Structure 1
Amino acid sequence: MTDLFDLRTRPPAIGIMRQCVQRHELDPPQSPVGWLFGQHPLREDARAWYRGALGERAVGRSLAAMGGEWNAIHGVPIGDRGSDIDHVVIGPSGVYVINAKRHIGARVFAGGGSVKVNGQPTQYVRNSQYEAERVAKKLTAVAGHPVEVTPIIAIVDAAELTYGKKEPVVAVLSLSRLPRWLTRNSRTLTSQQIIELSDAAARLSTWGSAIPQGLPDEEVAHRFAQIDRAVSRAIVRNRLWIAGVVIVGGLIALNVISSVLTNALTALL
């Protein structure tokens, strides 16, 4: 294992983008008719990874905009089973692991140890706590002193996020609230500690893992960008077809109404 690779160079959502690219490339190519009518270029399996990647990228952009002493490391590989941590964030108020969850137009409820999406329970709290414990153990081992890690669940693109009477045991935040929540907390780390912990978190040896074999991160990001453009263009084509159908349907309806009225007036006269 080498520490020449700095994890701070990894783009947000690189792990989930890799999954999306791999699944998409296993699928048969889209038919010309499907392309013409703006059919989604991804099958459902790859589409789920695609949606998740957009959520992680949104969180990554929000963290990058914080600047200052805040450091974010994305797609941290941990263990030997190919799993990774969405975001490890180190700043003046401490160390955090952020689990990004994108639920477009959903109703999300958080209270006590529960997070529900459209009324359905999830394992988000348990998983986030487990990730925080793993990161704390790894950083404590390399830092030589106890490192406390706080888990956060970041909700992206939900229609609403409501809270119960019991405060969530893990912070559950909308993307818009995330930066303010991080910066409002009291300072717990010195500037030197932030540098040391950030450097430790950027080393592969800290996590006892390795970058996944296969395409390099840069190529994965490039291929995902191609997929993203294809999806955007398909949406445009699909909407144009829908608009065309509506316009043609409206013109036909107007023509029918006009003929009926003309006939009615002719009969009256």
Structure 2
Amino acid sequence: MNTHSSQSASLKRGASPCREGKPVEYRSINLGHSGGAAVPQDVHGRIVAQSSIEKLLAGQKKVDPWPLVGRILGVDPWRPSSQSRYREAVGQVAVGRLLEQLSHEWTVLHSVPIGAGSSDDVDHVVIGPGGVYTVRTRSYIGQAVCVSGQTMWATCEATWVAGQPVIVSSEEQKHIGIARCEASKVALQLATDVSGQVPVTGIIVIVHAKSVTIQEGPSDVVVLTDRQLLGWLNARPRILAPQQLQQVSEVAVEPRTWPDAPVKTSDPAHIGDAFSALQRAVDTSRSRQVGWLIGLVAGMPLLWAIASRLL
């Protein structure tokens, strides 16, 4: 069985350069079967957002049990530091459900480890007739997102000049560089000695944003909203023949391809159940918050009348 090529070996195992968005060379994969160290985990069996959920649940273990008063008042069942991780997981789950709608020709892997101990992972790896794609999901609830060239901003403001958007203020994000790096690392992991190259393209999917303004898209990373994702993927021209597609898919689902996958991990079914229970608790909390707000507004006239009489 062939081992990974020297291209893969040139990147040190255990390094996680994608968190800093550092570029990695080589953007193509070779068709064929992959080698590497055996890892006793079925990557194909990982659930959507598994790494994010594992980290979220680990943080929740440090939170005191949800008190009765908190449940009645609708207090969120988490510590404030867990909110962003929860939103991240919810966004990945939403995109994962979209990807389930792709035809049988497509292979979708979730939470694919590309760094030591799963400290660095790709939200989704998608393989289909149009090639191989890494999908990075970013949740920007109620925020405006702007993209210009190699830079993406959140909480941005854009004004229109001569029919073109001009970004005037924003908070810069590093996700374009990270998405580029993730695509490169997946290409390295899939690379073998068999000839025949297939491009690996990084995609950023923006969910729950108030608006998305693209002044100029990056040249090597695709930025889409969740509503655009399926249409864009299905519109890609076929570049993989059926036999090639099968080869690439077999390499991708082979555990040996991902030597950074953890040897031991929690049961995916248990993780999914725990996250569903947390989602139900959050939904209950939000419903009670709304209920208390409606009750307060409806009761204001009565409270005002009582206060007037007492005064």
TM-score normalized by the length of structure 2: 0.77
Match of 2:301 in 1: 250
The secondary structure found in structure 1 opposite 2:237 is: coil
Match of 1:55 in 2: 91
Higher mean alpha-carbon deviation, 74-83 vs 179-188, is at 74-83
What do the CA deviations read for 1:211-232 (whole angstroms, capped 9, x no partner)? 3635222211111111111111
Q: How far is the alpha carbon of 1:3 from its aligned partner?
A: 6.3
Match of 1:14 in 2: 50
Higher mean alpha-carbon deviation, 233-242 vs 27-36, is at 27-36
The structure that has the greater radius of gyration is 1
Match of 1:109 in 2: 146
Higher mean alpha-carbon deviation, 71-80 vs 126-135, is at 71-80
Match of 2:113 in 1: 77
The secondary structure found in structure 1 opposite 2:61 is: helix
Q: Give the number of the structure whose residues are more often strand, by fraction.
A: 2
Match of 2:200 in 1: 149
Name the CA shift for 1:87/1:199 in 2 (closer, same or farther; >3 Å): same
Is the CA contact 1:92–1:189 (under 8 Å) kept in the aligned structure 2?
A: yes
What do the CA deviations read for 1:74-129 (whole angstroms, capped 9, x no partner)? 01112324221100000111000000000001100112101111111111111011
Q: How far is the alpha carbon of 1:244 from its aligned partner?
A: 1.1
Q: How does 1:163-242 map to 2 (within 5 A)?
A: 163-164=214-215, 166-169=216-219, 170-211=221-262, 213-242=264-293
Name the CA shift for 1:157/1:215 in 2 (closer, same or farther; >3 Å): same
Aligned mates of 2:194, 2:269 — CA distance in 1: 30
The secondary structure found in structure 1 opposite 2:198 is: coil
Quick one: higher RCO (CA 8 Å, sep 6+), 1 or 2?
Answer: 2
The secondary structure found in structure 1 opposite 2:276 is: helix
Match of 1:44 in 2: 80
Structure 2: which 5+ runs fail to align?
1-36, 156-169
What do you get for the CA RMSD once the two structures are aligned? 2.0
User: Which one of the candidate residues 125, 137, 152 is aligned to 1:88?
Assistant: 125
Q: Give the ranges of 4+ consecutive aligned residues of structure 1 lying more than 6 Å apart after TM superposition.
A: 254-257
Match of 2:101 in 1: 65
Is the CA contact 1:3–1:203 (under 8 Å) kept in the aligned structure 2?
A: no
Higher mean alpha-carbon deviation, 79-88 vs 130-139, is at 79-88
Aligned-partner residue type, residue 84 of structure 2? A
Match of 2:69 in 1: 33
Is the CA contact 1:140–1:147 (under 8 Å) kept in the aligned structure 2?
A: no
Aligned mates of 1:18, 1:144 — CA distance in 2: 38
User: Which one of the candidate residues 184, 200, 215 is aligned to 1:133?
Assistant: 184
Structure 1: which 5+ runs fail to align?
260-269
Aligned mates of 2:293, 2:263 — CA distance in 1: 42
Name the CA shift for 1:233/1:142 in 2 (closer, same or farther; >3 Å): farther
Q: How far is the alpha carbon of 1:253 from its aligned partner?
A: 4.1
Q: How far is the alpha carbon of 1:2 from its aligned partner?
A: 4.8
TM-score normalized by the length of structure 1: 0.89
Aligned mates of 1:50, 1:35 — CA distance in 2: 19
The sequence identity of aligned pairs, in percent, is: 31
Q: Give the number of the structure whose residues are more often helix, by fraction.
A: 1
User: Which one of the candidate residues 174, 180, 184 is aligned to 1:123?
Assistant: 174
Q: How many residues align?
A: 257
Aligned mates of 2:142, 2:263 — CA distance in 1: 33
Aligned-partner residue type, residue 95 of structure 1? V
Q: How far is the alpha carbon of 1:70 from its aligned partner?
A: 1.5
Is the CA contact 2:106–2:128 (under 8 Å) kept in the aligned structure 1?
A: yes
Match of 2:34 in 1: none
Name the CA shift for 1:250/1:144 in 2 (closer, same or farther; >3 Å): farther
Aligned mates of 1:120, 1:221 — CA distance in 2: 33
Q: How far is the alpha carbon of 1:248 from its aligned partner?
A: 1.1
Aligned mates of 2:140, 2:209 — CA distance in 1: 5
Is the CA contact 2:56–2:86 (under 8 Å) kept in the aligned structure 1?
A: yes
Higher mean alpha-carbon deviation, 204-213 vs 7-16, is at 204-213
